[in-house]
Structure 1
Amino acid sequence: MASITLEKLVKRYDKVEAVHGIDLEIADGEFVVLVGPSGCGKSTTLRMIAGLEEISGGALKIGDEVVNERAPKQRNIAMVFQNYAIYPHLTVRQNIGFGLYTSKLSTAEKNARIDETGRILGLTDLLERRPAALSGGQRQRVAIGRAMVRNPSAFLFDEPLSNLDAQLRAQMRVEIKKLHQELKTTTVYVTHDQIEAMTMADRIVVMKDGYILQTGSPVELYENPVDVFTARFIGSPSMNMIPSKSLAAQSGSLSGIENQLVGVRPHDLIVGAPTDQAILTIEGKVEAVEPLGPETMVHMRVEAEAVIATSPGNEAPPVGSMVTCAVAAGKLYLFDAKTEMSLGRK
């Protein structure tokens, strides 16, 4: 295992700079998720760590050594790609052991590693099957096993679950997290899915346009986003972002927040909640409802703004009706309307 350090890391394609001098320290054994929209630089950063993209500026350290000029095979890092590309004509055992083909281990040692990897990944009974006889989730585990059997210093995952259906993605999230907890290998994981980031990461790195906007634990980013982008990107459904002028006619303690953006998460904007202790009450017209079992998401219009609130249980207000929602103290997020930077909570 090893730490990974990015110091003023830059990536340029001709005259276009895709990653702008980012700094990041990943501790030995940490599970870090790079998250952001397409084109934000997260996969490019991962590929620079792997040695698959040339570094245009800055330094990349694995442990205490600068590895800018080292070839991928010299970095002792294993990468799992979105398209796992296991070999269809080889068995699971042969696919997992493929990464050991050029190693100097004895046959007995290689087989021991493959057997142990198969045990950890729940593939023991499938080792003699070929990929055609496996499910999508099992094939992804084989791809992980092929990386894992080499005993690398770090794992790199590039959106490995995006080709799986929703149920398999949820299952594989748990399996990868359990794998990390058992192996404690430094892991860098790239995704555009904030749910994957929230449920898997020790620490999340939010990226946009080649910059790092914020790093922190899932709870830190959810509770204390530094800007509008992070506030809306982390959390599902996204945080409501309402210009203060659209709330002028609403009741509550809104003095002194003119020309600001008011953020409130849908789960904190409760339909029919008591209003006597609320910092803000919002009235809107219901446009659609989404019953989800334990709660119902209520889509409504407040002045000209689309807002999402939560109704407890299976209580779905009629479409077209007017509803009143309450926000408790400490649940309002304030942002500067021009810079979109956080101004704290209210």
Structure 2
Amino acid sequence: MATIALDSLVKRYGQTTVVHGIDLAIREGEFVVLVGPSGCGKSTTLRMIAGLEEISGGQIRIDGRIVNDLQPKDRNIAMVFQNYAIYPHVTVADNIAFGLYRSKLSKSEKRQRVEQAAETLGLSHLLERRPSALSGGQRQRVAIGRAMVRDPAAFLFDEPLSNLDAQLRTQMRIEIKRLHHRLGTTSVFVTHDQVEAMTMADRIVVMRDGRILQIGTPLDLYEKPVDVFTARFIGSPTMNLLPANLRDGRADLSTGGSVRVPPSSTKTSEILVGVRPQDLVPTPADSSGLTVSGPVAVVETLGSETLVHIESEGQTLIGSAPGRLIPQIGEHLTLHAPAERLYYFDKVTEKALAAS
């Protein structure tokens, strides 16, 4: 296991800066997920940690040692790629053993490590097969096994589940989390899928345009987003945002009505009031919360819940109802969220409003 520290890390391609001096400290044994939209710099950051991309500024330290100029093979880390990167012409056993190609271990020691990794990953019965005879999930486990046998100080995962179908993604998500619990190896996982981030991470790092917006536990980011981007990126379906004007301690909403706003340090009169669909439900209203009404435009039946899209004063809002409650299209519906489940953001800066 190892600590990983990024100090003012920068990456430029010519005159274009894609990672803007980020700082991040990853603790020993921690599972950290870098998440953000395509082009936000998360994979580039991972590749700099691995030594596959030269850094343009700052430092990378692994277990306190500066590794800026070390080759990937000298950093004692293992990387699992999106496209598996396994060899089709050799067996599963040989693919896993390739991780020990440069090792000075004896043949029997190498075979023992391969068998241990295969057993851990449920691949023991597949060791003599070729990759063409495996499913996508099994191929990804082979790639993980090849990384495991090296006994690295840290695992780096670059969107390893993106080529799998939905069911396999869920299965592999659980398997990787179980593997981390069993091995305790420091892990950095890159994804653009916030569900993967929420379900796998000890801590999540939200990135946008080569910068870190927020770092925290999944619940921290869900409950206390620091800005509009994080609030909408974390959580599914995405958070509803309603424009509002501040007046005498209340926010007059674009959808009609108003809500009381906690005292804050903002000097603007224009804010955004946020509410998550799971908190906007067909329950009796009270004077302290948010109430919206309108005709039902779309119904998404998920079994455990029903997502309801209503049109209110020209804005589409998403609420949630019990799975057995299925409103009709065009039906007029009133949804309510309690005051303590509302979020407030400055409309101009898009930063969360801090209570004073």
TM-score range, shorter chain: over 0.9
The AA in structure 2 aligned to 1:247 is L
Contact kept in structure 2, 1:35 and 1:191, CA below 8 Å? yes
Q: In structure 2, what is the equivalent of residue 138 of structure 1?
A: 138
Contact kept in structure 2, 1:42 and 1:207, CA below 8 Å? yes
The AA in structure 1 aligned to 2:350 is E
The AA in structure 1 aligned to 2:22 is I
Query: Quick one: structure 1 residues 209 and 139, their matched pair in 2 at CA, closer, same or farther if it must change by over 3 Å?
Result: same
* Unmatched segments (≥5 aa) in structure 2: 246-251, 263-267
- Aligned equivalents of 1:15, 1:133: Cα separation in 2: 46
For the aligned residues, what is the CA RMSD? 1.5
Q: 1:300 aligns with which of 310, 315, 328?
A: 310
Q: Does 1:263 align with 2:274?
A: yes
Task: Give, in angstroms, the shift of residue 22 of structure 1.
Answer: 0.2
Taking the TM superposition and a 5 Å limit, the aligned residue runs for 1:70-219 are 70-219=70-219
Task: Give, in angstroms, the shift of residue 251 of structure 1.
Answer: 4.0
The AA in structure 2 aligned to 1:183 is L
Which secondary structure does the structure 2 equivalent of 1:270 belong to?
Answer: coil
Which digits, 9 at most, give the CA deviation of each residue in 1:144-188, with x for residues without a partner?
101111001100000000000000000000000000000000000
Q: Does 1:336 align with 2:346?
A: yes
Which secondary structure does the structure 2 equivalent of 1:143 belong to?
Answer: helix
- Aligned equivalents of 1:317, 1:286: Cα separation in 2: 7
- Aligned equivalents of 1:80, 1:176: Cα separation in 2: 11
Taking the TM superposition and a 5 Å limit, the aligned residue runs for 1:6-85 are 6-85=6-85
Task: Give, in angstroms, the shift of residue 337 of structure 1.
Answer: 0.3
Q: Which moved more, 1:312-321 or 1:118-127?
A: 312-321
The AA in structure 2 aligned to 1:153 is A
Q: 1:312 aligns with which of 305, 308, 322?
A: 322
Q: 1:247 aligns with which of 253, 257, 277?
A: 253
- Aligned equivalents of 1:159, 1:248: Cα separation in 2: 39
Calculate the TM-score normalised by the size of structure 1: 0.96
Identity of aligned residues (%): 63
Which secondary structure does the structure 2 equivalent of 1:69 belong to?
Answer: coil
The AA in structure 2 aligned to 1:167 is Q
Q: In structure 2, what is the equivalent of residue 290 of structure 1?
A: 300
Task: Give, in angstroms, the shift of residue 278 of structure 1.
Answer: 5.2
Which digits, 9 at most, give the CA deviation of each residue in 1:48-104, with x for residues without a partner?
000000010000000010000000001011001111121111111110001112210
Contact kept in structure 1, 2:260 and 2:288, CA below 8 Å? no
The AA in structure 2 aligned to 1:324 is T
Which secondary structure does the structure 1 equivalent of 2:174 belong to?
Answer: helix
- Aligned equivalents of 2:259, 2:213: Cα separation in 1: 30
Which secondary structure does the structure 2 equivalent of 1:343 belong to?
Answer: coil
* Unmatched segments (≥5 aa) in structure 1: none
Count of matched residue positions in the alignment of Structure 1 and Structure 2: 344
Q: Which moved more, 1:255-264 or 1:237-246?
A: 255-264
Q: In structure 1, what is the equivalent of residue 286 of structure 2?
A: 276
